[in-house]
Amino acid sequence: MTKRHRIVGALCACMLGLVATSCATNTYNSTGEWQQPRTRDVPFQTVLVVTIVPDTNARRTFEQTVAREISDGSARGIAAYTSGGQKAPDLTRDTVIAMAESSGADSVLVTVIRDQASQVDIGQEEAYVHLGPTTKVVQSKDSSFTRALTTNYAIEVVPGSPVIKADAVLESSLYEAATGYKLVYRATTQGQFELAADDFIEGIANGFALTLVKRLRSDQVVR
């Protein structure tokens, strides 16, 4: 390996390290508690999943992910978004119960946003190394002369873009059909996450959904 190759290799490793440190790490955790003594000996078998959030895409992703993960076990999950089609503000107790009865659900899981906070920061700039001959034309301030500079590599620095750093708390309440839709279980799911310009809210909703279902299984709400 030549001296130039060693220098370029070291520069590449350094730049890749800078890029790696700019990656966001989202964290989620969930806790749950039965609200009254259990009235059944087995987990619920058919769960209607209802979500009340302002973003339609987030609602659809959350409900479909929760329903899919529940259905991957011995139970069946039904996303209200695809079952009834109502917008979140149009959902009422009567419409939800009607959907539950028509689908044969023995329980309804309703999730709402209980708390959220966010701030906008500027993400870390990223640097890229371009290998190979590179020519750059430089002009003097008074435009009296120009000169061409040729190098074996070039470094491109991309300025940081806005990043939303947020915390959110979701509350999921489970109502049992056999008891007249009384509250029997409640879970709280917290998340700390970042959203850059090229990120999608669906990814955040998916993270919350997977964490919630893991808690439901841990507490024997579903199997």
State the Cα–Cα distance between residues 214 and 73, nearest whole angstrom: 11
Alpha helices (H) along 22-138: 56-71, 80-83, 93-103
CATH code linked to domain 24-122+161-218: 3.30.160.150
Domain ranges of the chain: 24-122+161-218
pLDDT in tens, 32-41: 999 977 666 6
211 beta partners: none
Percent residues over pLDDT 90 in the chain: 51
The arithmetic mean of pLDDT across residues 45-66, rounded, is 94
Tell whether the model's pLDDT for residue 8 goes beyond 50. no
Q: DSSP 3-state assignment of 2?
A: coil
User: What confidence tens digit (pLDDT) does each residue in 139-169 have?
Assistant: 777 777 777 767 777 777 777 678 889 999 9
